[in-house]
Chain A
């Protein structure tokens, strides 16, 4: 893990312990202050998914909130053409949503904070280019070519974009529900099939397969059965039948009273410490 320590006077890459290269970034050319991006090639043991190929993916930390995926793509394209950019709140594999594709109007709003990104380049050479980027030449978010809207401009744009034609919305709903009904039907059929398999055939045999269980149990139902059992057992028990039982109840009662008394005493002591009895 020793990056080539080329000693150039000023424009060398800055590498910190942990193997991250520091890339300064500023909003536009007039900015005085810079945020620091921390980049490294993407390297994990478990993730073998195809959309983050290890040799071509750059792992980027601390991407400022005004950097959208498009802006990031633009920004990193100076190291080579970018195939895709993924921005997330926390590092880790993409949440696997197996569900159907949903329209952006139905997705929960994304958090507008600092992000981590996975930039997938088309060529693996771009990674090296990014990692050797000199630390005193900042990347620029908002350039002449690619304006980034912030503040009131952005909010007005957001407001305008929140409008959707009613018939379009209706179409989205309809298509989703169609898909939902279809999936539902399929599931039902599958269940029916399984139920059929579970049934006895004419000769009284049940075919036992390794497949999924017929019905998922519910936790609530489990609890309920457990409680009925407990209740049943309790009913069988005799209370205050033997002398020792009776004596015990009395003892418990006195203990309870004692505890309450102690509690009160302690409450008072506590209040006294806090000077809660000084009327004025």
Chain B
């Protein structure tokens, strides 16, 4: 106690409010200890941790010290480690579940062992089966030799992940191997599918027997990894647990029944004569090898040795099961773990075993390290070229690595040395796996990314991963491609599965054709079919359409020219062969004459679809797949932002025009002579100048007869009674003037001086360039090239002047205020954002289009008031700057889907969104931002976006959205994403992607319908309007310079909305689509409708109700509704009050 005393005293010096430290000495120490437990109670809201002082400063134990030191040195990954441990708890099977499984397995085993015998029949004779149970096999060709009878199995064993302890939730599959007794089989059964058929018959026999039992829930057939030669019987327990797990019953031959050497990949086990039914003179020597068939039969022989091997390896490494589980989660999020040719959990375990055996990982590593090392291995090793083998010393009959590589695309040989475990995997799938692994490694090392979340928690469905996706819908058509590509032996090898036989050829064809345009070609793995035991096995064409995903290289993908070899080079024949009639000789500017293919495409949105032209052309030419069978999903969403000129365009060309015109103006401004102060900067501050305006302004020519004229300046003004004139967006340009002692130090005087600059600048522009100008106190409008630029002169010290004031004592105080912030926003932050995002557009050509789609959606869903243009652009920018776990979007469509996903899934409550523009933030900044954010979460905006320029306040989202609005945005985004992905991926759906752009209006209290005549942006509406109005402007052709100033920035809808919000902003929210919306949706604020006591300051639009002595006020709804009509006279068509849903 005595030693401790000085310590306590010192502590008291440092931190005030230390009165009870003295008491502690007397008080029993026990009471003190119980305190921290109360503090750390389970609460669902994050509070900054408050440990009691005694807890923080108690002397540490050696163990605790070690632990803390370790966490300090590995801070970045210690959180990740903890998170992974939590994740493992989520996917691990509970003890209760294990008991359930064990008991069910016992009953099933018992049942199966008592299956009755049946008399011996011919294999082709199916009469012994009742009509309720069908054989899970496509019996093509029909004829088979051999005899079959049902007998109880030789043994029933658990195999696969469950006994190994690597089985994970969800989709729990327990594998049960049922050994067919040797007397049912014949060693020659390997040939001509006799064994697989007997295996199927045996399963059917089991199914027939089990059908009568009440202890089995449902029974279905499936096949192992989509391989029709290896059907399995799926059993589920009865009752309410039926969906919680499934038992897969496999039938296997007795161990060692077939000689492994029979399944050498060069050997033939299916005779052409039998398969085609034609008499052939071919001798056995020339029969084509059937490697896939061989390996699928061989695979049945080996599950038990594999299990033994894995459990031997796994028992040495304590984190083996956890490592496999993590790998499985990783694979599952990337859709690589299921279907034909997948990299399933079994392969994951085998991979870990390989790494352990080859000493790349050690037995003492944690699950975290296992995952990291295996991803590293996958990323750096190409199994399509250098296969790996688990066989330590294969016997002499085992095939060599080279022989494997000759017939299989991906090689990973099992411990026996005979089986290639990746036989069905295509090279593309492996490349995808490699790509995913290397992307994962990249962001794992990046401390600014939430590694855990991107690595293991984010699903990567193909539609959200690939830039373009296309589907082969009519799979029957692949039969003719088989013929065209002359694939009889492959077809035989795949036992008639023409989809899998042709797939590798189609993939290599596409890879060749797309060449440099893509960085990755992926394809969906056909899912394992499942069907009930009462129905026939489904045909090959019954599987869902094959999907292919393209990851584009943005700089090359949209090129319209495919330049081939010179005309005289030997390679030109090859080129001509590939492209067929599309290839032609062309002479280029450098004088070379080469073979070349020129694709169609004028505007950017057409050029983006060049890959589609290539794919349809190649598939038609080489594989006989008609265009109608290809469903290309790459630009279906572009429609909503297409502008109606003769060449369809999604705004890239128009934006470029605006930017060019702006550059010209900026140059002219710089050169102006005769201004009292010189210009220091000309900056654009408008979305159109960073390619993100939803509908970029187009040059217009005015029809003068449509307008009235203003008397003095001869400018055009809208005419009463005519439709509202075309809306002309003023494009904001900020013009900073040089600082000088002559600038006054007074806010009003500065404003007047700025006006003087506007006037002078206007005069000079008129004099030198004959531009029509309209100077105002706040800005100068310049009519140039059919566009209007709004120049605002800015003085860099003005915000500072606005902040300064002299208080009553004569003290000069600097106080931040809204006016200064708004000015700073307009003259500093917006121009900087505009130029930064302009740079981003140069780097990623589809950035602008993604912004346009995103903002079109926000507008259509009536959210554009809450999530402003700048906020939306920043959100989209974050997708490009920090794409993990994806790669930066390469097409507008995928970018838009990820934007919706970001809105729907980002945890705004607990995380700041950090948009690292220009890569200016360092790692330490990230932690600082996060700490600041956590410390003052409650006072910060609900949607917190930090940028390098501003990390504390989230100025872009300060004004909104509110909690309620953000909630709604999240909800609608999730719903839209679901719907849209479904629409894009499901070929049966009608193609109406506009569904996600139509807002649900039933949530609103009042709808104000507008008169389309007075809505100037009507043509931009989601659903094109049926009637159009002449609006006094001719698009696409800029008039001469000079002429009368057109009507600028006159939009009755925004004026009306502003009036409504000013008058009734306390009572209701107003929503409207800024792009041609013809309805204003009104939502009453429930709080405003509670009766409140009479107060002179809160009486707007309220009426008083007197009860006794008390006067309460409520909104005067009838009068308000009439005000809606009065204030919008001429603009509104009707006001629909949905009184039935009002609750007051």
Q: Give every chain A residue within 8 A of B456 (Cβ-Cβ).
A: 279
Residues of A within 8 A of B724 (CB): 152
CB of B393 within 8 A of chain A? Answer: no
Is the pair B7, A262 in contact by a Cβ cutoff of 8 Å?
Answer: no
Residues of A within 8 A of B72 (CB): 257, 260
Contact assessment for A258 and B51 in the assembled complex, using a CB-CB cutoff below 8 Å: yes
Minimum Cβ distance to chain B for residue A45 (Å): 15
The verdict on A27 contacting B1104 (CB below 8 Å), with A33-B1119, A162-B776 known, is no
Contacts of B1052 in A (CB 8 A): 151-152, 155
Q: Is A217's CB under 8 angstroms from B333's CB?
A: no
Instruction: Kindly state whether residue A216 has any CB partner on chain B within 8 Å.
Output: yes
The winner among A111, A163, A165, A277 for most chain B CB atoms within 10 A is A277
Known interface pairs A16-B1094, A267-B46; A166-B51 also in contact (CB < 8 Å)? no
Cβ of A62 and Cβ of B1101 under 8 Å apart? yes
Q: Which residues of B contact A265 (CB under 8 A)?
A: 82
**A112 lies within 8 A of B1059 (CB):** yes
Are A166 and B710 in contact (CB-based, < 8 A)?
A: no
Q: Given A180-B749, A280-B333, A150–B1126 Cβ distance below 8 Å?
A: yes
Q: Is B746 an interface residue (CB 8 A)?
A: yes
The interface residues of chain B lying within 8 Å CB-to-CB of A266 are 40, 46, 49
- With a cutoff of 8 Å between Cβ atoms, the chain A residues found around residue B1119 in the complex are 33-35
Does A146 reach chain B (CB closer than 8 Å)? Answer: no
Given that A27-B1126, A247-B10, A268-B82 are contacting pairs, would A218 and B744 also be in contact in the complex, using a CB cutoff of 8 Å?
A: no
Given A27-B1126, A151-B1131, A213-B810: A106 touches B752 (CB 8 Å cut-off): yes
B628: interface (CB < 8 Å): no
Q: Are B1127 and A18 in contact (CB under 8 A)?
A: no
Choose the segment among B102-110, B711-719, B866-874, B1069-1077 that binds chain A (4+ C-beta atoms closer than 8 Å): B711-719
In this assembly, does A136 line the interface, its C-beta being within 8 Å of a C-beta of chain B?
Answer: no
Contacts of A105 in B (CB 8 A): 776-777
On chain A, the residues within 8 Å of B1047 by CB distance are 159
Bound Cα distance from A260 to B910, whole angstroms: 17
Tell yes or no: B995 within 8 A of A by CB.
no
How many whole Å from B1049's CB to the nearest CB in chain A?
9
B40 touches A262 (CB 8 A): yes
- B302-310, B439-447, B896-904, B1110-1118: which lies at the interface: B1110-1118
Q: Is the CB of A251 within 8 A of B720?
A: no
Please indicate the chain A residues that have their CB under 8 angstroms from the CB of B83 in the complex: 268, 271, 277
A116 CB, nearest partner CB in chain B, Å? 7
Complex-state Cα separation, A269 to B1122, whole angstroms: 54
CB within 8 Å of B: which A156-195 residues? 156, 158-160, 162-166, 169-170, 172-173, 176-177, 180, 184
> Per-residue 0/1 for B1035-1079: is the Cβ within 8 Å of any A Cβ (1 yes, 0 no)?
000000000000100101001101100110100000000000000
**Residue A279 contacts which of B56, B333, B1127 (CB distance < 8 angstroms)?**
B333
Contact pick for A33, options B748, B1063, B1122, CB 8 Å: B1122
- Interface size for A (C-beta < 8 A) is 90
Nearest to A90 among chain B residues (CB) is B1097
Q: Which A11-38 residues have a C-beta within 8 angstroms of B?
A: 16-18, 20, 22, 27, 31-36, 38
* Other-chain contact of B756, A36, A153, A170 (Cβ < 8 Å): A170
- CB of B1096 within 8 A of CB of A180, answer no
Smallest beta-carbon distance A123→chain B, Å = 25
Q: In whole Å, how far is B92's beta carbon from the nearest beta carbon of chain A?
A: 11
Q: How far is the CA of A270 from the CA of B776 in the complex (A)?
A: 55
**Nearest opposing residue in chain B for A38, CB measure:** B1099
Q: Complex: how many Å from CA A264 to CA B871?
A: 31
Give the distance in Å from the alpha carbon of A105 to the alpha carbon of B69 in the complex: 67
Query: Is the C-beta of A93 less than 8 angstroms from some C-beta in chain B?
Result: no
Q: Assess whether A106 is in contact with B1063, with CB atoms less than 8 Å apart.
A: no
A254 within 8 A of B: yes
Q: Is the CB of A247 within 8 A of B776?
A: no
Q: Chain A: which residue is nearest B806 at the CB level? A: A216
B129 at the interface (CB under 8 A from A): no
Tell me, in angstroms, the Cα distance from A176 to B1050 when the chains sit together.
30
Bound CA span A65–B1056, Å: 12
CB distance from B1080 to the nearest CB of A (A): 14
Evaluate contact between A217 and B812: CB separation under 8 angstroms.
yes
Contact A279 B1099 (CB under 8 A): no
B778 → A minimal CB distance (Å): 9
Choose from A102, A261, A273 the contact partner of B44 (Cβ within 8 Å).
Answer: A273
CA gap between A33 and B1056 in the complex, in Å: 21
Q: Which residue on chain B has the smallest CB distance to residue A36?
A: B1103
**Measured between C-beta atoms, what is the minimum distance from A6 to chain B in Å?**
18
- Could you say which residues of chain B place their CB within 8 Å of the CB of A271? 83, 86
- The proximity string for B residues 52-73 relative to A, scoring 1 for CB distances below 8 Å and 0 otherwise, is 0001110010000101110110
- Are the C-beta atoms of A35 and B1116 separated by less than 8 Å? yes
A66 and B83 CA atoms in complex are apart in Å by 60
Query: A212, A258, A259, A277: which contacts B90 (Cβ < 8 A)?
Result: A277
Complex contact A264–B79 (CB within 8 A)? yes
- Pairwise interchain contact B712-A163, C-beta atoms closer than 8 A: yes
Residues of A within 8 A of B10 (CB): 244, 247-248
Asked if B170 is at the interface of the complex by the 8 Å CB criterion, the answer is yes
Give complex CA distance A31, B89 in Å. 68
A169→B718 contact, CB < 8 A: no
B1106 touches which one: A16, A244, A268, A270 (CB < 8 A)?
A16
CA separation between A160 and B1101, bound complex, in Å?
Answer: 30
Q: Shortest distance in angstroms between A10's beta carbon and chain B's nearest beta carbon?
A: 18
- State in angstroms the CA–CA spacing of A241 and B910 once bound together: 42
Which residues from chain B contact A162 at a C-beta distance below 8 Å?
Answer: 776
Q: A66-B1126, A268-B86 are in contact. Are A17 and B1111 (CB under 8 A)?
A: yes
Q: Please judge, given known A-B contacts A155-B1050, A170-B759, A176-B752, whether A65 and B49 are in contact too, CB under 8 Å.
A: no
A145 interface residue (CB < 8 Å to B)? no
Distance in Å from the Cβ of A223 to the closest Cβ of chain B? 10
| Given known contacts A33-B1121, A155-B1052, A255 and B814 CB-to-CB distance under 8 angstroms | no
Q: Is B762 located at the chain interface by the 8 A CB criterion?
A: yes
Residues in A neighbouring B285, C-beta threshold 8 A: none
Partner of A166, one of B56, B89, B775: B775
Closest residue of chain B to A25 (Cβ to Cβ) is B1119
CB-contact partner of A113 in B762, B811, B1062, under 8 A: B1062
Interface residues of B in 768-787 (CB under 8 A from A): 774-777
Chain A minimum-CB-distance residue to B39: A262
Q: Give the complex CA separation of A260 and B71 in angstroms.
A: 9
- Which B residues touch A184, using CB under 8 A? 744
Task: Name the B residues within 8 Å of A48 (CB-CB).
Answer: none
From A177, A257, A259, give the contact of B749 (CB < 8 A).
A177
B878 CB–A CB distance under 8 Å: no
Q: A235 an interface residue at 8 Å Cβ cutoff?
A: no
Q: Least Cβ distance of A110 to chain B in Å? A: 10
Q: List 30 A-B contacts (CB under 8 A).
A: A33-B1118, A33-B1119, A33-B1121, A35-B1119, A64-B1101, A99-B748, A102-B748, A112-B1062, A113-B1065, A151-B1128, A151-B1129, A152-B1014, A152-B1052, A160-B710, A160-B717, A169-B777, A173-B756, A212-B810, A220-B814, A260-B71, A262-B40, A264-B71, A264-B78, A265-B82, A269-B42, A270-B910, A271-B83, A274-B44, A277-B87, A279-B90
Please provide the 6 A-B residue pairs with the shortest distance between their CB atoms, ordered closest to farther: A151-B1129, A152-B1130, A114-B1100, A33-B1118, A218-B812, A216-B810
Question: Which positions in B face A, CB cutoff 8 Å?
Answer: 6-7, 10-11, 14, 40, 42, 44-46, 48-49, 51, 55-57, 60, 65, 67-69, 71-72, 75, 78-79, 82-83, 86-87, 89-91, 170, 329, 332-333, 456-457, 459, 710, 712-713, 715, 717-720, 724, 744, 746, 748-749, 751-753, 755-756, 759, 762-763, 774-777, 806, 810-814, 907, 910, 1014, 1047, 1050, 1052, 1055-1056, 1058-1059, 1062-1063, 1065, 1094, 1096-1097, 1099-1104, 1106, 1109-1111, 1116, 1118-1119, 1121-1123, 1126-1132
Query: Apart from A17-B1110, A156-B720, A277-B89, what are 14 other A-B pairs with CB-CB below 8 Å?
Result: A27-B1123, A38-B1099, A91-B1096, A106-B755, A112-B1062, A151-B1128, A163-B774, A176-B748, A251-B57, A254-B60, A259-B49, A263-B48, A264-B71, A279-B332
